[in-house]
Amino acid sequence: MSSLAIAGCGGNGQLRSEVADLQVSMEAMEARQTQLESRQGSTPSTAGLAGVELNEGNAELLAEIEQLRETQAELLAQINRRPPPRPRRPRPDTAAVYSVDITGSPFAGAKNAKVTVVQAFEFA
């Protein structure tokens, strides 16, 4: 039975899903291959499918398994070619207190107010 480890995929769930689906298909095909071999009186090869006697029933399965393996390899190559995810932008510190010099700026209200609300605009 084949095993597959997906590493470094970032957030690409669709490729992971496709690879997982292919893995399930491969396992089902290999199980069917073993079932066909046991019915025909041959024994499954311990080295995978390399030494299996070919006939009409399992030749198609072997071809399909090979196709799945090629597709799986292509998907893994796509995953490995993807650039690493960009680093996240740093978040502002919500506990920080900022001091803004408003000397000489226009204002509305009392000069000695206990609370000052500053609106800042950037015209680019």
The pLDDT tens digits of the residues spanning 65-104 come to 899 999 998 888 888 887 878 899 888 888 988 777 888 8
The pLDDT tens digits of the residues spanning 8-34 come to 444 567 777 888 888 888 888 888 888
Contact at 8 Å (CB) between 64 and 83? no
Contact at 8 Å (CB) between 49 and 65? yes
Say what angle helices 13-40 and 56-81 make with each other, to 10 degrees: 160
User: What Cα–Cα distance (Å) separates residue 9 from each residue in 21, 27, 72?
Assistant: 16, 22, 14
The predicted pLDDT at position 47 comes to: 43
